Amino acid sequence: MTDLGADPAGAGRGSVTVPLGAELNPGAPGTFVTTFTNNETTDAANVGVRLHGLPEGWKAEVAEKDGNLLGIVKPGDSARTTWLLTPPADAAGHHPGVAGDRHVRP
pLDDT bin (cut points 50, 70, 90) of residue 66 is very high
- Classify domain 14-91 at the CATH class level: mainly beta
66 C-beta neighbours (distance < 10 Å), count: 9
- Contact criterion met (CB below 8 Å) for 32 and 83: yes
- DSSP, residue by residue, 12-49: BSEEEE--SS----TTS-EEEEEEEEE-SSS-EEEEEE
Domain boundaries, given as residue ranges, for the chain: 14-91
Average pLDDT over residues 45-61: 88
Q: Which residue has the higher pLDDT, 11 or 41?
A: 41
Average pLDDT over residues 35-51: 90
